[in-house]
Structure 1
Amino acid sequence: MNLSSKSVLVTGGAGFIGSSLVRELLREDAEVTVLDNFSAGDPSHLAGLDGSLEVVEGDIRDSSLTSLLERKEVDCVFNLAAEPYIPYCYDRPAQFFEVNANGTLNLLLACKEAGVERILHYSSSEVYGSAKHVPMDEEHPTLPLSTYAVSKLAADRLCFTMYHEQEVPVIILRQFNCYGPRETYPYIIPELISQLSKGPDLQLGNIKARRDFTYVEDAVRGAIELMKCDRAVGEVVNLGSGIDYSVEELSHIIGELMGYDRVNIEIAKERLRPLDVERLQCDYSKARELCGYRPKTSIAEGIERTIDWFRENNERWIWEVKIAPSERIWRKDDGC
């Protein structure tokens, strides 16, 4: 499948990964529509982009979704719309299921009705739970440890069932952790950059937890190549770097890149999760075999680019809960 001149819908396209994906799709000469309710995404992430781009404020739970797909004559959908931040799921489990599972089902049904040619659904490595073996391939047991992860696994099963029962042409992408420009606090790499911009002292939670980090440009290139791959339809496919780092190791890497001889880490109990995944490390051999995926950016190079982006923009965007958990307020904060 060639995406040039294709009509592509990106749900959640104003978010961190979504906005990076939109940039790559425009470079492919796709005609891109972004659907986002801006609860976690930010319209400024899409400002000043060249190419065929329309931004629509809306929600994957909307009953009018089929009309949008038909009006735009959408060929392909990348589904990144989700409730994304794990610590918030403890207080709002119903909201996470409503968006991540029911919203995905609504999208799948709308795509079927509108005759969409192909869907790539963004899942998460969190569905696996803590590694039973490493690296983790697609056959690794799914033992999710948070309501967020359970809701994402439910969405995966909906995709699997809709493909096999109703021939909805969907690819399930299990993305391991991403990082890069426009990633927002409170995810771990922007959190570390933010804290270290003020000095070498850090307050962190579980510093022994290990994650597989992929630079966002490598990740979205992989997603696009999977979308183009006919053999990927109906498959579950991992994307990651194949290398994992502990939060403690990341702290020292980022500290060194920001000019510190050492960093001082204090464990803050309020930052510990009730249940935490101890290790995630990706086996991306299936993606390599299907579409030639190979990440190119080292952790040092990618983090250095990320630090430079924060410094060049002289700002960081954070969102925090005010008054009611469902009302997210964006604010600027000088931090770098």
Structure 2
Amino acid sequence: MKFNDKRVLVTGGAGFIGSEVVSQLLDEDARVTVLDNFASGKKHYLPSHKKLTVITGDIMDERVVKKAVRDQEIIFNLAALPFIPDSYHYPVDFFKTNTIGNLNVLWEAIKSKSTDVFIQISTSEVYGSAQFTPMDENHPTAPYSTYAVSKLAADRATFTLHKENGIPVVVIRPFNTFGPRYTQPYIIPEIINQMLNGATELSLGNINATRDFTFVSDTANALLKAANEKKAIGEIINIGSGTEIRIQDLAHKIAKVAGKKIKIKTDESRLRPYDVNRLICNNTKAVKLLKWRPRVSIEAGLKITFDWAKKNKVAFNAPFKRWYYKNTDD
């Protein structure tokens, strides 16, 4: 990796994937700046390091973005509102942050004339449910949520500005990422939390849906590789394991890690009105272009995640409006 003394900005760097990206960049001796509003990211997810600068602010604040972007050679844009169920209730907020906020960061990067590569973090959710498998980068985009639509709009805008202004960009579409330092009640944290709270009968939604899970260190490693590969410029690249697992089977894997016997019931209130039923990644492009492969198996990753969760209980009981606008908890 060629990050030695490079000036690197990570928006959303105190979040789940962002904090892992920051950790790996510091291991590569980069000079890292984090821009985060700490709405869901945590300050204690960031290490104390002489090459780390933290700016508290929002990507919707053009003044703060201009300060953060100035002179940055590499930008990883991870800042977003990420939790899909919230997007059903606050669609305007999701478009403001995930689309307009993205444009704020990218436009400042264009004006700064110092950015060598801009890594836009998208999502596999832009594809909707699988129309064929495995899903490659040419899979039709048919987003099922306002969250996914807002991220797809950001993708499109990123490529338009890339073509119009020449800024080097790479769009990365991770499939489901899991691991320690999570910030949202995604399915794996939700299952773990129910178990840690003593549940023997799990309350879940669509247990027959399938997902493709990649451990967070592998996802972050792919982002760093994308920033170092000139052939990746102007490309969309899927990041995923290439395997799928049913949510019901996933729950039993986690139960095995926890040493528990469980039953599962379907909670109708957890079923989405317009749900993605199947996601499985074709990672051929990432393997060929980035020389990337996932290294951590789902079994090993679940063990690491469960052990971390036992030591670091994370509560998910605040509604979106409260945690987004008022959360000051470190």
Specify the TM-score bucket, using the shorter chain as the normaliser.
Answer: over 0.9
2:281 — aligned with what? 282
1:33 — aligned with what? 33
1:258 — aligned with what? 258
Distance 2:328 2:257 in 1: 28
Change (3 A) 1:186 1:2: same
Change (3 A) 1:277 1:67: same
Distance 1:218 1:207 in 2: 26
User: Are residue 130 (structure 1) and residue 135 (structure 2) matched?
Assistant: no
Q: CA deviation at 1:321?
A: 1.5
Change (3 A) 1:163 1:281: same
Q: CA deviation at 1:51?
A: 4.5
Query: Secondary structure at 1:306's aligned position in 2?
Result: helix
1:14-65: CA deviations, max 9, x gaps? 101100110000001000000001112111111x443410110111122222
2:227 — aligned with what? 227
2:325 — aligned with what? 327
1:100 — aligned with what? 98
1:246 — aligned with what? 246
Structure 2 residue identity aligned to 1:114: S
User: Are residue 91 (structure 1) and residue 89 (structure 2) matched?
Assistant: yes
- 1:35 touches 1:59 (CA, 8 Å); kept in 2? yes
1:74 — aligned with what? 72
Residue identity over aligned pairs, in percent, reads 44
Distance 1:322 1:169 in 2: 34
Change (3 A) 1:323 1:155: closer
TM norm structure 2: 0.95
Distance 2:95 2:142 in 1: 17
Query: Secondary structure at 1:316's aligned position in 2?
Result: coil
| Structure with greater strand percent | 1
Query: Secondary structure at 2:319's aligned position in 1?
Result: strand
Unaligned ranges ≥5, structure 2: none
User: Are residue 212 (structure 1) and residue 212 (structure 2) matched?
Assistant: yes
Q: CA deviation at 1:237?
A: 0.4
1:209-229: CA deviations, max 9, x gaps? 111100000110111011100
Unaligned ranges ≥5, structure 1: none
User: Are residue 200 (structure 1) and residue 200 (structure 2) matched?
Assistant: yes
Moved more, 78-87 or 193-202: 193-202
Change (3 A) 1:160 1:211: same
Q: CA deviation at 1:312?
A: 3.3
Distance 1:180 1:155 in 2: 26
Structure 2 residue identity aligned to 1:311: K
Q: CA deviation at 1:269?
A: 1.1
Distance 2:321 2:254 in 1: 34
Query: Secondary structure at 1:133's aligned position in 2?
Result: coil
User: Are residue 236 (structure 1) and residue 236 (structure 2) matched?
Assistant: yes
Query: Secondary structure at 1:55's aligned position in 2?
Result: strand
1:228-265: CA deviations, max 9, x gaps? 000101100000111111110111000111112x3111
- 2:232 touches 2:289 (CA, 8 Å); kept in 1? yes
Change (3 A) 1:95 1:286: same
Structure 1 residue identity aligned to 2:38: F
Change (3 A) 1:74 1:129: same
Query: Secondary structure at 2:292's aligned position in 1?
Result: coil
1:66-91: CA deviations, max 9, x gaps? 23322xx2100000000100000111
Q: CA deviation at 1:330?
A: 7.1
Query: Secondary structure at 1:254's aligned position in 2?
Result: helix
Q: CA deviation at 1:151?
A: 0.4
Change (3 A) 1:111 1:331: closer
Kindly report the root-mean-square deviation, in angstroms, between the aligned alpha carbons of the 2 structures. 1.7
Structure 1 residue identity aligned to 2:131: K
Which structure has more relative contact order (CA 8 Å, sep 6+)? It is 2
